[in-house]
Amino acid sequence: MDKLLRDKKAIILFVAPAFLLFTFVLFIPICQSIYYSLCDYNALTKPVFIGLENYRQLFTADKTMRIAFKNSLFFLVFSVVTQLIVGLILAALLTNIKKGRNFFKNIYYLPCVLSSAALGLLWMFIFTPKLGINQVLAQFGIEGPLWLMDTKGFIILPMWVIASVSLWQYVGQSMMLYMAQISGISTSLYEASYIDGCTKVQAFRYITLPLIRPMMATAMSLNAIGSLKFFDLIFNMTEGGPNHQTEVLATHLYQQGFKYFKYGYASAIGTVLLVLCLIVTFIINKFVKMENYEM
């Protein structure tokens, strides 16, 4: 058995295609991009090496970067926590009902399969004061707030709105991952527990949760990375406005790179984003995964 699993030829054969593709299409370009982050480069002229100047500016002089950083961290915490809780609750509820399980699951997952650009546009419409829910609220005599333009407070209202929309869109994904993993748990485990007098809640707490822990780490890492790289919804709902108040790292990167042609500077933001993702994934895997459970 062990010998079989240490077959070098097989390992190489299995990994090589992915490795080669990955190296050529992603790794080399990102190395190039990291080099650009040390340059003054606008994609139209040759890059000029300027050392760490881009990073110095990024961390000391760029006010938008500070806002983007704050918003990205807020987003990260919000989506990791809410997606975990809501995703687990939905998965647990749906695996425990028979009638309509398919129906509800399909509906909750539906927004995941739609383009976030289109959905961003849709929600932008809905939160536009002239057209959207404020008109509905006005029917009840309530004056709705400026959902996407209010700039008061530390975490401003638009960020909460966008974060909620992203929860709406992506929680189906977490739910699906948990459901898929729960489906792998043997029925006999539950049957045994019921014979021992466990309630369903207890069974969930002592059987399901520990067994899907690896998937929790996976789903949380996915959420964390996804929320740090989050772009489409924000870009289509607010474009980072008003006055950069809803900017996150990815939108700031886009604006700098593609609106103002500061490609070197944008690459520096990209590098920061990459490092941040690495750190967060490391932390999640360190504290959530711990060990692999055998089923």
Structure tokens, 147: 């959902």
Distances (CA, A) of 39 to 25, 30, 53, 203: 22, 14, 8, 57
Binding-site member from 52, 56, 77, 106 for other proteins (CB under 8 A): 106
Binding-site member from 107, 142, 192, 283 for other proteins (CB under 8 A): 107
List the interface residues with other proteins, window 202-261 (CB under 8 A).
214-215, 218, 221-222, 225, 228-229, 241-244, 250, 253-255, 257-261
Alpha helices in 246-292 (DSSP H): 249-254, 263-284
266 near other proteins (CB under 8 A): yes
Q: Which is nearer to other proteins, 3 or 51 (CB)?
A: 3
CB of 215 to other proteins, least distance (A): 6
Binding-site member from 52, 85, 102, 142 for other proteins (CB under 8 A): 102
Binding-site member from 81, 131, 209, 290 for other proteins (CB under 8 A): 131
3-state secondary structure of 40: strand
For the chain, the residue count is 295
> How is 58-103 classified by DSSP, letter by letter?
HHHT-HHHHHHHHHHHHHHHHHHHHHHHHHHHHHHHHHT--TTHHH
CB of 68 to other proteins, least distance (A): 13
8 near other proteins (CB under 8 A): yes
Structure tokens, 238: 């607010």
* Nearest-angstrom CA–CA distance, 248 and 233: 11
111 near other proteins (CB under 8 A): yes
Binding-site member from 125, 210, 283, 287 for other proteins (CB under 8 A): 125
98 near other proteins (CB under 8 A): yes
6 near other proteins (CB under 8 A): yes
CA distance from start to end of the chain: 19
